[in-house]
Amino acid sequence: MTENRKLRSATDRALGMDQPISRRDFVQGAAVAVGAISAPLLSGCDTWLREPPSGQDAPGYYPPSLTGMRGSHPGSFEAAHALRDGQAPAQLPQATGEFYDLVVVGGGLSGLSAAQFFRQSAGPAAKILILDNHDDFGGHAKRNEFELNGRMHLMNGGTLLIDSPKPYGTVAAGLMKTLGIDVEGLAKTAWNQSFYKDRGLGDGAFFDRETFGADFLMVRDGKGPSKLSLAGAPLSEKAIADMARIETGTVDYLPGLSSAQKKDRLSRISYRAFLTDLVKADPAVVEFYQARPHGEWGVGADAISALDCWGIGLPGFQGLNLEPGSTARMGFTPAGYADTGGSTRFHFPDGNASIARLLVRALIPQAVPGNSAADVVTARIDYAQLDRPQSPSRIRLNSMVTRVRHVGDPRQSRDVEVTYQRAGKAHTVRAKACVLASYNMMIPYLCPELPEPQKAALHSLVKTPLVYTSVAIKDWKAFEKLGVNQIYAPGCYHSYLHLNSHSMIGGYEGPLNSSEPNLVHMVRTPCKPGLSEADQHRAGRAELLATSFETFEREIRSQLGRILGNGGFDPARDITAITVNRWPHGYAPEYNPLWDPELSDDQRPWVVGRQRFGRIAIANSDSGGGAYTDVAIEQAYRAVGEILNS
């Protein structure tokens, strides 16, 4: 079944807005599996999506295959926004009579890890309940699963890969080993990073007419833009020369200063200011580099320090002869890479959703068939097994927690009561302890008894909004003809896009021939240049929540048609499915020297915010000040330790 979409013009028809792409039925804006889940209903005073009576126990319930609007999907956040706005549910909560050793709020990687660490310490009989507001577990580690021409195709809908600015520590590396993940071994055998390069496909950059005056696709030769690859680009001779100087030049733009002095100076100006004021680059060149930091921070060159951009290897600093290593005035990401070179990297076909699946297998073996990190990739999760009374560990989806409180005086209480909304009704469960593995900015609303300084610290952290879009295409001949597999598009709606990484693991293998279907990954960061980083994130978050799927689809079709049209790509003919993973609260906030005050470690807002409160502990990547999987795991370990040792 397809959604009827109103065409705005003949252009919409040319884009294929009237084409019956593969998607799920849309009811009240929510994507639900046709024939598997009955339609959700919205009643007058309810601000959350009603889950059908059968819910996750329904035959065929399988969220990874849903298309349309995913990520923070309709129904996953409305109750939270109502709580934020002071709108109390009309009905009183009903006690379920359940009592657990631990309730975990949030089924992302940190929440699942917390459950696993608690189970390892307390024993396999420990009763654990995980409550999550989404229709699937994994948090940002979401899986997009497509069946194209009878074959499984996978892509990450959120957390991309095992990667960190520093090598995984004992805790995170130990959990990987427990789950059977041999990161170094899999990186060599299961992830072919040279697949497209070996076929002659390289990097490209798209100059759009709105920003640069004309549409032009540059195919890079060598490491970056050159006069040869820029032949025909809508740039002046000066702009082309400036770009070559930035990419390969050896000019020292801060002569007479030591390396330490240069780093300090660079930490106090943005990358955009560096290019404009020190490099004195042509304005068109500055616009070309504006979106380069999008993938790392969700904002552009105007909001990230030049020093942090040096730390991740952006061009222009070759002649400054900066010494290796970080400084105190560097953000989490570049500081780690500058000092250590980072961790071993590995990309599962569905991103870190496979880690979430392995954690669920460890907690609830009957829900996840198989016994290895390889076979979990193609395993079909039995969601009906996630919340069974006979299972010590349980996962309850579509359950938005709205209150966590101690029973009695927090200083003496031994029990915690957790209230959640599900299927339009409020319920309570009790536990000996609770780990809040949700977003930090929501915790003061869930637990208003927290000390005021702690609530203020939690509220101050603003997550980075972003969109990961997965587009299924009939074939990838256009990419092959144009000689590209990944494209940077600084002025476009999505600033990055690339063909799906090639993997071969556990019976799963990506397409080998360009005539076969493939997936395209597109990234949008809805930032607003000119504002502070936090204000850009706030504005971007509001934009994402107000943007319809139809708008996303129109922009996707238009952009792919413009970029790939000369390769024969026709969006009306060649796009077969679209999944938009919308994350209004995406990356965990990290230190930014341009906007954040210099504080000692114990004064950092994420450190102040994560303090244990009686029988309640906090675990998420927010509380570690870094948007990485190992950070989420380490914070889970800390939180569980605080509970067990209290």
Q: What is the pLDDT of residues 422-445, one digit of tens each?
A: 988 999 999 999 999 999 999 999
Instruction: With H, G, I as helix, E, B as strand and everything else as coil, classify residue 350.
Output: coil
Axis-axis angle for helices 170-178, 109-122 (nearest 10): 80
Would you state the pLDDT for residue 37? Answer: 30
Retrieve residue 361's tokens: 């297998």
Would you state the pLDDT for residue 571? Answer: 97
Retrieve residue 221's tokens: 């030769």
Distance of CA 625 to the CA centre of its chain: 15
The percentage of the chain sitting over the pLDDT mark of 90, rounded to a whole number, equals 87
Axis-axis angle for helices 629-644, 109-122 (nearest 10): 40
Contact present, 513 and 474 (Cβ < 8 Å): no
What residues pair up with 338 in beta bridges, in sequence order?
none
Locus of tokens 């699963």: 145
The H-assigned helical ranges of 161-221 are: 170-178, 183-189, 209-212
Nearest alpha carbon to residue 129 among 147, 145, 114: 114
Question: 616-618 and 434-436 as β-strands: parallel, antiparallel, unpaired?
Answer: parallel
Cα atoms in the 13 Å half-sphere on the side-chain side of 318: 10
Supply the pTM of this predicted model.
0.93
pLDDT above 90 for 8: no
DSSP 8-class letter at 325? S
- In whole angstroms, give the CA distance from residue 563 to residue 205: 9
- In whole angstroms, give the CA distance from residue 62 to residue 383: 7
Average pLDDT, the chain: 92
pLDDT tens digits for range 127-139: 999 999 999 999 9
Retrieve residue 333's tokens: 């990401």
Retrieve residue 442's tokens: 């929501």
Q: How many CB atoms lie within 10 A of CB 9?
A: 9
Q: How many CB atoms lie within 10 A of CB 646?
A: 10
- In whole angstroms, give the CA distance from residue 385 to residue 370: 15
Would you state the pLDDT for residue 90? Answer: 66
Instruction: With H, G, I as helix, E, B as strand and everything else as coil, classify residue 468.
Output: strand
Nearest alpha carbon to residue 588 among 457, 465, 434: 465
Report how far apart, in Å, the C-alpha atoms of 348 and of each of 199, 246, 485, 624 are: 22, 34, 19, 24
